[in-house]
Chain A
Amino acid sequence: MSQILPSLERYHRPASLDEALRILHEGGASVMVLAGGVSLGMVPRRAVRGVVSIERLGLDAVEREGGTLRIGAGVTLGHLERMLAGDSPVERLLMVTVRRTATTPLRNLITAGGVIAGVGPWSDLPVALLALGADIVLNGTTVISIERFLADGPRSIAGAIISEIRMSVDGVKGGAFIKLGRNETDLAMASASVVVFDDGVQPRVRVAIGGLVSRPLRIEAVEESLTRGVIDRGALSELLGSLVTPRHDPRAEAVYRLDLAGTCVMDCFETATREASA
């Protein structure tokens, strides 16, 4: 039998966040947080001697409170898909994004927190969360924007546990997520999400792209041009090209990824504005 983590000696199942944080603190770099565990098969693991499972931490609720949607970090994407209601633009956007993530059996393992903490160019949900302007809660108390987390990278939260993802649903009028891969279940060669907000003063959009560089990016320069209606598909890809240098690998060349990203953004913008004006 081949072990997935041959170096693993201890599997901790703490029943409280405090206990989990204590084990993580004492274990240092040799102990990691374990959520769905899907990443264990994807990357060669460093010498992990212990894991701290988040299963018993009670991070498995999806709650709507006032104008806020709160998703526990331990909620699997499969469960999230079943819990989301199609009656608000935010939940519709999350549903579309989750359904485009990985496959049915993988979604029953991958967690909302794991997909953020394990972020990479392949990540889908973080793209939509970035466009939505979501926040993540660390250790049950510290709130940081997903934008800051994605800018600083996962190392910036080493030793912490993402406990919740939360976002405001007020003012969100429309949203879209599009991912292009070689087939339905492929990792993104490029993806985008656009969200239209209207707080009664001035409509504005937020734009995020994925698949191009190591983590999803918010593209503010594109947001402005889209809001002013002064950009077409070709100009959009050109503008993206002036802002990012995409990855180039055997799955897709950099210039092709840029082209795909431009198409994703434009199609998302059309879908999101249509939803907002419906």
Chain B
Amino acid sequence: MRVTATVNGSPFSCDVAPGERLVDVLRAHGLTGTKYGCGSGECGACVVLLDGEPVNSCLVVLPRIEGHSITTIEGLGTPSVPHPIQEAFAEAGAVQCGYCTPGMVLSAYALLQRNPHPTREDVAAALDGNLCRCTGYVKIIDAVMMAAARLRGEALS
């Protein structure tokens, strides 16, 4: 069936079997920043934004995005012009293997859109669906707090 949506601000349409997962279709279209981990909603590697809210794209069948807007990590920043959250992740040492990072960054982005002044507890709660097997989370929370301060235009002490 034909599905039409907006992906990273551009019109997107494709013909798929109705049972295809969003994560697979995005990756097949070159948006490989979205990762596939557990396939069952438990790890958050596949998180993308659906109308601005983080969702597990491994559990979304493609027809569900008809008429909606999807943002993947590629829609946030590029290697030459990274988003401040991506910069903060790199600077804070919040990335090791990097497999969880796109999902983490998108979950953090959704949080900061709604709450520019999060506490560390708010950040931990917002990232509760994103597992990281490498970093131990402290640096990830540091990175989101750093990005929040920068996005508010505050100098970091």
Q: A-side interface residues toward B, CB under 8 Å?
A: 1-11, 13, 34, 36-38, 40-42, 51, 53, 55, 78, 99, 102-106, 108-109, 184-185
Are B107 and A40 closer than 8 Å at their CB atoms?
no
A-B contact pairs, 21 of them (CB 8 A): A1-B20, A1-B25, A3-B19, A4-B20, A4-B61, A5-B18, A8-B19, A9-B18, A13-B63, A34-B61, A36-B59, A41-B59, A51-B18, A99-B125, A102-B129, A104-B127, A104-B128, A105-B41, A105-B55, A109-B59, A185-B128
Q: Contacts A38-B41, A103-B129 hold; do A7 and B55 have CB atoms under 8 A apart?
A: no
Does B149 lie at the interface of the complex (its beta carbon under 8 Å from any beta carbon of A)? no
Are B18 and A106 closer than 8 Å at their CB atoms?
no
Which residues of A are found within 8 Å of B18, using beta-carbon distances? Answer: 5, 8-11, 51
New A-B pairs, 17, CB < 8 Å, besides A1-B21, A108-B55? A3-B19, A3-B21, A4-B19, A5-B18, A9-B18, A38-B59, A41-B58, A42-B41, A53-B64, A78-B53, A103-B44, A104-B54, A104-B125, A104-B128, A105-B129, A108-B50, A109-B56
User: Chain B at the A interface: mostly helix, strand, loop or mixed?
Assistant: mixed
Partner of A41, one of B17, B40, B63: B40
Return the 3 tightest CB-CB contacts between A and B, nearest first.
A103-B129, A5-B19, A8-B19
Interface range for B: 20 to 34
Closest B residue, CB atoms, query A39: B59
Does B5 lie at the interface of the complex (its beta carbon under 8 Å from any beta carbon of A)? no
Partner of A3, one of B17, B55, B56, B127: B17
Closest B residue, CB atoms, query A82: B114
Are B19 and A37 closer than 8 Å at their CB atoms?
no
Which residues of B are found within 8 Å of A38, using beta-carbon distances? Answer: 41, 56, 59
